[in-house]
Each structure stands twice: as structure tokens, then as C-alpha cells.
């Protein structure tokens, strides 16, 4: 039983029944929390519960390092939490708990444009009940929840400055991760090669050209998300105090 949880099985297939089930469950979790956060829980309850679920996502990410080391399969080129979604998992509990508006404005675009599509086109290779499958779906659900929580429950409004900050920030992060990839022979944030499986990267040119194409694609996608979500009617104006 333990082997089925900890050892890789390479059994996951995109767009199969398992993908469909988890896709539905993830969005049910996200929209369920948003509904209760907006309609049922008071401010303190909502902040506590969303932080707990985000911490659970972060814990599954951190535990991956320990269990990989324990079973002797840890690989620094693949298992460090340096992909964008994994980094966000470690960061979002602090954003939602401390209500960091500026940080939220940056990670909102990183998550919605860069991570949300992972539910539609997973880079996952392991099927349930493998721990990696559990981690993958929980991580992506919690970071998407955190991004939408700021918009729906905290009532934040997006600004063009957030688009610019997110674009500058993603480039700064890439500059940090690229030499790490070269050093570790890794591919964090998919800077040194396209991700496995069918993803939107397949629409772009081969490496390294697609990295430069992503500069424009990311800025366009950030802008599209800004226009879409800007129309959302917020209860709290950006310059007003956040509800306590």
C-alpha cells in the first residue's frame, strides 16, 4: 500500500477519466471556498480557513522533499520547489493571511495566467493514489483559490500597475532561475525546454526561441486577464481599508 503512494507509477493520462474527476473536484473546492468566504463565513473565519487550506497545499509541497529523500529518489533537478506553481504554494499562505495587496497583485497574474492552465493541461505523470498526484492537484487548487480569494472575498481591484509589476517580476524570477537550471541541469519554470505532454507551449517555436516569444505572450495574457477581471464589481475599493 505504501509503495503505491510513494513510488512512481507513470499512470496518468491527460484528458482521461482521472483527469476529468480531479478537474471537477478542484474547481468544486475553489468555488466552494469562495462561496463560503463571501456568503457564509465572517472576515476572521474566512481568513483563517483559506490560510489553513493554503498551508495544507504548502505542506504537501514541502513533504515531497522529505519523502523523496527517504525513499532515495530525490533529484535536485526535478524535486526542488522552483517551478512557478510550487513557489507560489509556499508564498500564498502569507499573502492571504497578512493581506499583502501589492504581492497579491503580482501573484494573481502569475497564478491565473501561468498556473491555472495546469488544471486543463497537466504536466502530471503519476496517477492516484500516488502522492505526487495528490500534491499536484492540491497545490494547483490552493494557489488558484488564493488568487481568486483576493479578488472575490477581500474585494481587491486590479490595476495596470499590477500587470507591469507581474511582468517585471516574472522576468526577474527567470533571471534567477536560469543559472540555477544550468547548474543543476534542470528545467525549472520551463526556461530550458518545453514541459512534457500536450501544453500550450506546443504552439510556440522550439527552444530557445519560445522563451523570447513568451515575453510577448505573457504580457498579452496578463493584459487579457486584467480586462476580464477588471469588470468584476468589488465591495472594497483599492484605496479603502481592507475589512477586518
> Average pLDDT, stretch 128-157?
92
> Average pLDDT, stretch 175-200?
88
> Average pLDDT, stretch 107-125?
86
Position 243 scores a pLDDT of 45
Q: What percent of the chain has pLDDT over 90?
A: 55
CA 116/CA 127 separation, integer angstroms: 20
Position 14 scores a pLDDT of 83
Please give the tally of structural domains in the chain: 1
Residue 236 placed within a domain: no
Which pTM value belongs to this model?
A: 0.86
> Average pLDDT, stretch 30-55?
95
Identify the weakest region by mean pLDDT among 22-31, 76-85, 114-123, 131-140. Answer: 114-123
Residue 58 placed within a domain: yes
Residue 36 placed within a domain: yes
> Average pLDDT, stretch 33-45?
94
Residue 184 domain boundaries: 2-230
Residue 173 placed within a domain: yes
Residue 237 placed within a domain: no
Give 15 or 232, the one with higher predicted confidence.
15
SS3 at position 157 = coil
Task: Please report where in the chains the cell 515531497 appears, as a residue.
Answer: 64
Residue 235 placed within a domain: no
Mean pLDDT of the chain, nearest integer: 87
CA 37/CA 107 separation, integer angstroms: 20
Residue 91 placed within a domain: yes
CA 213/CA 96 separation, integer angstroms: 32
Position 9 scores a pLDDT of 74
- Max Cα-Cα span within the chain: 53
Give 143 or 2, the one with higher predicted confidence.
143
Q: Tell whether the model's pLDDT for residue 93 goes beyond 90.
A: yes
Residue 240 placed within a domain: no
**Nearest residue to 54 (alpha-carbon basis) of 101, 14, 111:** 111
Q: Tell whether the model's pLDDT for residue 237 goes beyond 60.
A: no
**Nearest residue to 190 (alpha-carbon basis) of 83, 89, 78:** 83
Position 98 scores a pLDDT of 95
- What's the pLDDT band for 171 if we cut at 50, 70, 90? very high
Amino acid at each position: 500500500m505504501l509503495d503505491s503512494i510513494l513510488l512512481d507509477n507513470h499512470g496518468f493520462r491527460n484528458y482521461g477519466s482521472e483527469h476529468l474527476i480531479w478537474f471537477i473536484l478542484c474547481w468544486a473546492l475553489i468555488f466552494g471556498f469562495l462561496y463560503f468566504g463571501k456568503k457564509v463565513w465572517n472576515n476572521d473565519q474566512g481568513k483563517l480557513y483559506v490560510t489553513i487550506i493554503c498551508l495544507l497545499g504548502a505542506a504537501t509541497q514541502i513533504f515531497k522533499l522529505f519523502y523523496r529523500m527517504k525513499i532515495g529518489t530525490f533529484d535536485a533537478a526535478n524535486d526542488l520547489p522552483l517551478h512557478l506553481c510550487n513557489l507560489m504554494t509556499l508564498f500564498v499562505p502569507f499573502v492571504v493571511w497578512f493581506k499583502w495587496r501589492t504581492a497579491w497583485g503580482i501573484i494573481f497574474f502569475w497564478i491565473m495566467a501561468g498556473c491555472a492552465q495546469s488544471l486543463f493541461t497537466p504536466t502530471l505523470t503519476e496517477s492516484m493514489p500516488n502522492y505526487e498526484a495528490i500534491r499536484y492537484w492540491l497545490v494547483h487548487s490552493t494557489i488558484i483559490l488564493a488568487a481568486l480569494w483576493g479578488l472575490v472575498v477581500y474585494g481587491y481591484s486590479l490595476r495596470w500597475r499590477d500587470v507591469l509589476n507581474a511582468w517585471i517580476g516574472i522576468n526577474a524570477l527567470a533571471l534567477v532561475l536560469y543559472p540555477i537550471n544550468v547548474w543543476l541541469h534542470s528545467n525549472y519554470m520551463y526556461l530550458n525546454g518545453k514541459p512534457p505532454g500536450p501544453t500550450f507551449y506546443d504552439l510556440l517555436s522550439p527552444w530557445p526561441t519560445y522563451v523570447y516569444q513568451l515575453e510577448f505572450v505573457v504580457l498579452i495574457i496578463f493584459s487579457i486577464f486584467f480586462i476580464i477581471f477588471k469588470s468584476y464589481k468589488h465591495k472594497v475599493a483599492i484605496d479603502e481599508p481592507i475589512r477586518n
